[in-house]
Structure 1
Amino acid sequence: MAFKLWLLDEETIYEHVFERYTQLEGQSGKLAQDLGIQDRRGGVLEITFEPSGLEGGRKKKRVRRRNKASSVEEDQNVAVDSYHVSVGQSISSLHSSRDNGNSTTGYVLWSTTPFFINWLLYSTSAAPFRLGSQVEVTCGSSCEGHMLELPRLIDLTGADRGKRGILELGAGISGILPVILGNFVDTYVSTDQKGILNKLKDNIMENLSQLTRKRCISRSLRLELPTVEPVGDADITAASLPSKSTLHLEVAALDWEKINLQDKKTHSLHPELSLIGETCSSVYVIAMDVIYNEYLIDPFLKTLKQLKHWLQTTYNLQFHVLVGIHLRSQEVTTLFLEKAIIEYDFTVYDIVDQVIQESRFNFYLIT
């Protein structure tokens, strides 16, 4: 069964937060009681994503697809490819006043991101984000619901003619979202503070082989499509290579405190944002575990407000935001929702799904 959306307002915020943290408390014996670092023991993490939880009894259209040495059957509604990434992180930089003077947490991999990837690719309940479909919206127990049409976040088939983009805010150093989700979109822009970018680029380049479905071009990573490849006495042009669509992948600095898209003179400072507008018909902003204290809430929401206005008015894009929160402080979660809904006038939906409710995470769709 697909997830549902709970439309939150200034009254139901508190009901939602109370229910979610009550669920969390009831599972305290099953869930790890930590801050959410994926693994604080090592400088290099090896992480595998694979479709271990697919439903076996349902008949769906399947396509034969060869993945490395083995042949698998591809379910059109659920991803079947496996991925293995190697992530370099720096626990010492996380705690260093020299490297981390602005107290960013981006030097390590946080567990919200791997959970989100597994859920999005392999959970049957996440199908609306893979297929693009209507989702049931509830407005509380006493209100009649309605349906909301969602564009695809990712396209598993590669057959959809629509051009889709992802803009990642607060990416951190891991780089695993672009090298995995980049297989299913046309443009991916990963952003964070300037001090994070070198390690982020290193991890993306280390795992670029996981972009199995795309040919990648990137100005910031200095990647170009091959034009001629010598094979023996013959030359093979890019046009004669096996057909793969192209991913435009960029890494860019984006400071939430300084961004000002209302000033036309500053647009030239953000060519990566213009790239999304010029090449895509829809964009999802993804932000995983970026709301962990109250000081980040206003800069983040102001940035979203500017991005939404600029991308919609300048390029007429469909604009959606997915925010993943590791449920730590109940006060911070409540304040984030209060400000998003009441002060910044966003439409905010809680993504209601059993898999998510059995975790330490929560995900919100913002429009």
Structure 2
Amino acid sequence: MAFKLWSLDEETLYEHVFERYMQLEAQCRELPQDLGIQDKSSGVLELAIEPLGVEASKKKKRVRRRNKDDYHVRVEQSISSLHSSRDNDNSTTGYVVWSTTPFFINWLLYSASAAPFRLGTQVEVVHGPSCEGHMLDLPKLINLSGTDRSKRGILELGAGISGILPVVLGNFVDVYVSTDQRGILNKLKHNTLENLSQLTRRQCVSRTLRLEPPPTTPSETATLELPSKPTLDLEVTALDWEKINLRDETTHSLHLELSLLGRTSSSVYVLAMDVIYNEYLIDPFLKTLEQLKYCFQSTYNLKFHAVVGLHLRSQDVTTLFLERAVIEHDLAVYDIVDQAIQESRFNFYLIT
């Protein structure tokens, strides 16, 4: 069964938060009681992205899925930088891998209930008399079909150093832009380049990573060959939420990437995984979302969709995030209601 959407307003957001944290309390013996770092003991992580653990049975058997690819990434992280008071102006959480991202990729690629993001279908909106029977049209977040020629793009906010999302989801989109603070970019670029072998379905080109398509010789162009792989334009660039002003091209460097996304894509999603972990990040993040929404809608005539993943730590921070998103910033926020998510320490919100 496909996931459903719970439309959150000034009343239902409190009901949602209460119920979600009650679920966590009921599962406290089964769920890890930690902050969500994937592995804080090692500087190099080997991660497997595969269906085991998301749609596995209680016996943890491997299940069959539509996409036959497995993904194996090697990520260098910096535990010392996480605890540093000097690195990146004391904004250091991006130097390690957080568990929200691998969970989201597994769910998106392999869970039957995540099919609307893979197929682009209508999703039922539940809870509240005004929502009864309402359906929301969702474009594809990723394109698994070889026959669908529509162009799709992803803009990632607060990517951190891992580079996992672009080298996995980049197989299924045409443009992928990873962003974070400038101090994070070198490690993000390094990990992305180290794992380009996971882009098995696409030929990667990049201005910021200095990747060009391989040259073709006259004999190759004259020979009848199998169709070439489609191209992924993968860019890594700086974006500081505190300083962003998309209406002034002189104050930031994101216009090339936004133009690339807007001009070439029929749909664009913004992804942000585990970027809200204290109250001070909430307003800059939401103001950034507002500016991106205005830019995509007014400049490129694209509908705005963002998926925000939270590791559920402080109930107060989660409540404050939803209050400000719904009440102060007047964004349409939906809780993604799915059993696999409700059995985890994570929650995912669709913002339009």
1:198 is matched with which residue: 178, 183, 186? 186
Counterpart in the other structure of 1:101: 89
| Deviation (angstroms), 1:23 | 0.1
| Deviation (angstroms), 1:310 | 0.8
Q: TM-score if structure 2 supplies the norm length?
A: 0.93
CA distance in 2, matches of 1:262, 1:86: 38
* Contact 1:261–1:310 (CA under 8 A) maintained in structure 2: yes
The within-5 A match list for 1:36-185 is: 36-52=36-52, 78-140=66-128, 144-185=132-173
The within-5 A match list for 1:11-50 is: 11-50=11-50
Q: Is residue 256 of structure 1 aligned with residue 241 of structure 2?
A: yes
1:245 is matched with which residue: 209, 216, 230? 230
| Deviation (angstroms), 1:271 | 1.1
Distance 1:238 1:319, change over 3 A: farther
* Contact 1:213–1:244 (CA under 8 A) maintained in structure 2: yes
Counterpart in the other structure of 1:278: 263
CA distance in 2, matches of 1:141, 1:104: 44
Structure 1: unaligned runs, 5 residues or longer: 57-72
| Deviation (angstroms), 1:281 | 1.3
The within-5 A match list for 1:288-303 is: 288-303=273-288
| Deviation (angstroms), 1:17 | 0.2
Counterpart in the other structure of 1:68: none
CA distance in 1, matches of 2:34, 2:252: 41
Number of matched pairs: 345
Distance 1:262 1:94, change over 3 A: same
DSSP-derived class of the 2:87 partner:
coil
CA distance in 2, matches of 1:161, 1:130: 14
Give the RMSD, CA atoms, in angstroms.
2.1
* Contact 2:238–2:254 (CA under 8 A) maintained in structure 1: no
Distance 1:324 1:270, change over 3 A: same
Distance 1:142 1:185, change over 3 A: closer
DSSP-derived class of the 1:227 partner:
coil
| Deviation (angstroms), 1:99 | 1.5
DSSP-derived class of the 1:15 partner:
helix
Question: Which structure shows the higher strand fraction?
Answer: 1
Distance 1:223 1:30, change over 3 A: same
* Contact 1:110–1:289 (CA under 8 A) maintained in structure 2: yes
Q: Is residue 218 of structure 1 aligned with residue 206 of structure 2?
A: yes
| Deviation (angstroms), 1:267 | 6.7
In structure 2, give the amino acid aligned to 1:110: W
1:128-166 Cα offsets, whole Å, 9 max, x none, are 000000101013378523111100000112321211100
Counterpart in the other structure of 2:60: none
| Deviation (angstroms), 1:54 | 6.0
* Contact 1:216–1:248 (CA under 8 A) maintained in structure 2: yes
* Contact 1:327–1:361 (CA under 8 A) maintained in structure 2: yes
DSSP-derived class of the 1:228 partner:
coil
* Contact 1:94–1:105 (CA under 8 A) maintained in structure 2: yes
| Deviation (angstroms), 1:103 | 2.3
Q: TM-score if structure 1 supplies the norm length?
A: 0.90
Paired-residue identity, %: 75
1:175-233 Cα offsets, whole Å, 9 max, x none, are 0000000000000000000000000000001100000000000000000101136xxxx
| Deviation (angstroms), 1:9 | 0.2
Distance 1:111 1:269, change over 3 A: closer
In structure 2, give the amino acid aligned to 1:24: L
